[in-house]
Amino acid sequence: MKFLRNLLAAILGCLIAFGILLVMFFVFAALIGSSEDSISVKDNSILELSLAEPIYDYVGNTDSDPFASLFSEGVGLDDILHTIRVAKTDSRIKGISIGTSFSQSGMAQTQEIRRALADFKSEGKFVFAHADFYSQKDYYLASIADKIYINPQGVMDFKGLLSEVLYYKDLQEKSGIKMEVIRHGDYKSAVEPFLSNTMSDKNREQIQELISSIWDSMLEDISESRNLSKTNLNKIADTLGARLPAYAVNVGLLDGTLYHDEYQTILREKVGIAEENKLNTIDLFDYTRYAKTKGKKTSKNKIAVIYAQGEIFYGEGSKDFIGQGAMLSTLEKIRENDDIKAVVLRVNSPGGSSLVSDIIWREVELTKAIKPVVVSFGDVAASGGYYIAAGADKIVAEPTTITGSIGVFGTIPNVSELASDIGVNAEQVGTNANSADYSVFEPMSNTFRATIEESIEETYKTFVTLVADGRGMTFAEVDAIASGRVWSGVEAQKNGLVDELGGLEKAIQIAAELAETSEYSIRKYPRYKSEFEMFMDDFSASKSKLISSMVKDEIGEEAYQTLNSLKRMSQNQGVQVRLPYNLNIR
């Protein structure tokens, strides 16, 4: 009887839980539906732009997902750009107010948003900016504005770019936990922090040239918008000439200091409404929900835009990492779809697994044999990110894109010193000379190291060869700019790794030209499971995300990213084609 009572109680509990979830589903659906219906855009409105949320190139096809706004973390760059384009032709939107501090967009993403804002202004509409704090990236975005203001007690950061790389050699020696490293390439310094406590001359050289090129691209745009020479801008940076708001105004970087209510008055005057009247504003992300079905081209002819973002790992893939599963099924569908006339592969990745990179490269090659393939690079397209793009018909990059890094390395954790210190001894028994393979509890044998080195050298030769074939270069020409070295988009175009500079729109235009079609619509891929679907599929995944969020809130963003970097490096087992360091530019 006790067993039956417990069984009935368990069944009843499950039914109640299911009922609660079902009620929640309909309540959420009703709330979201009514929220979308209530979105209205009033006359004389100002669109408010803030990039405080994490910015992905693509968050997935969320149009049919009613729970996207509740469960999704971050916003898609594609949605932001489309929203600004819709606002450009919306007569009710008179201008845009940029209110960004500590934006979470990447540098190339910022450059693309900036370009969209310039296009918005071409319609005769205004863009103003106001913030309490301007980081250099925030200011770079705001510099496109007609007028830029700051809080009188605000802070202006304009001193040139800096890159910081952390080194762990002493930590390994003290802890007894280390990474066994095998690499090819003088510049392949992703593993340098495990081998040294100081930066090598080769690494310092490439970082200096990279950030100098990115800084020069930023100054080029700021110079044009603010009518200040690059020489003047560098002088301001060198002398910290914008360290106080008043100084920044005097040197021409800003137009004035205003409190938020004073800035609101300026906006009222701009749209021509009285001081006592309420200023009509609409948040970018609210307007995005209105704009997502507006202004989209319709045509039987399609151009497929495939988003490949994040590190490259073996698996299905998601908006956070690139896996061969989603990429292969997507490319296969596209090859079989006669309505799709061309493909744009949008890459934003520091690389990862060489095996997965090669699998995706092969599928791109098969697709290119049938339809034109153009690649658009985002913030970073390095190592494996470049590998999967190397065979495309054309490659387009932003001037600030970090690209190249044609090199290979392998990292394998080893705890033999720690094991010895704490009294742990591993004994192995095998049938053949090399059946014992590798143990993290024993020092790496010369035989095993030689085997890995052979694999890395073979992978490097394959990498350079496919780049040479794809770019119409010789092996020697690619090898001379490879060895794991990274380049800005500007430098990559000069050395032949990139064809043209520009954003996703330019890549789409080139794809349309190659497909010889002027009328087309865009279809985005892949379609990932929504956050709600994953929540329902696996409660533990949601629990993990909740814990990660709590840790981030507790220790801060910078410490959290450092922790993540260490975690990712420890997971990078086997041969890797990855960005040569965890680059923190600020």
Report how far residue 561's alpha carbon sits from residue 578's, in angstroms, rounded to the nearest whole number: 17
Q: How many residues does the chain have?
A: 586
Report how far residue 428's alpha carbon sits from residue 408's, in angstroms, rounded to the nearest whole number: 30
Q: What residues pair up with 347 in beta bridges, in sequence order?
A: 308, 377
- Candidates 301, 237, 274; CA nearest to 515 is 301
Are 101 and 80 a contacting pair, CB within 8 Å? no
- Candidates 254, 46, 252; CA nearest to 148 is 254
> Cα 65 vs. chain centroid, distance in angstroms?
23
Instruction: Give the helix ranges, DSSP H, for 122-189.
Output: 136-142, 169-175
The two tokens of residue 374 are: 């153009």
- Residue linked to tokens 């749209």: 271
188, 202, 270, 319: which one is catalytic?
A: 188
- Residue linked to tokens 């956070």: 320
Q: What residues pair up with 184 in beta bridges, in sequence order?
A: 408
Q: What residues pair up with 342 in beta bridges, in sequence order?
A: 303
DSSP-derived secondary structure letter, 109: H
Cis peptide bond prior to 526, omega within 30° of 0: yes
- Candidates 332, 327, 318, 358; CA nearest to 345 is 327
Task: Return the amino acid letter for 416.
Answer: S
What phi and psi, each to the nearest 5 degrees, are found at residue 468? -60, -45
The answer to whether residue 383 is catalytic is yes
DSSP-derived secondary structure letter, 276: T
72, 376, 383, 405: which one is catalytic?
A: 383
Q: 269-275: list long-range contacts, CB under 8 Å, 24+ apart.
A: 270/94, 270/95, 270/126, 270/128, 271/44, 271/46, 271/94, 271/95, 272/44, 273/44
- Candidates 393, 577, 366; CA nearest to 471 is 393
Helical (H) or strand (E) element with 466:
helix 446-471
The answer to whether residue 188 is catalytic is yes
The two tokens of residue 210 are: 């990279």
* 371 contacts: CB under 8 Å, gap ≥ 6: 334, 335, 340, 341, 342, 343, 515
Are 377 and 397 a contacting pair, CB within 8 Å? yes
What phi and psi, each to the nearest 5 degrees, are found at residue 286? -70, -45
* 338 contacts: CB under 8 Å, gap ≥ 6: none
Buried b / exposed e over 212-239, threshold 16 CB at 10 Å, is: ebbbebbbebbbebbebeeebbeebbee
Helical (H) or strand (E) element with 178:
strand 178-184
The two tokens of residue 105 are: 């967009």
The two tokens of residue 48 are: 């408010």
Are 555 and 181 a contacting pair, CB within 8 Å? no
* 258 contacts: CB under 8 Å, gap ≥ 6: 130, 149, 150, 151, 152, 266
- Residue linked to tokens 């996207």: 68
Q: Which residues are catalytic?
A: 188, 383
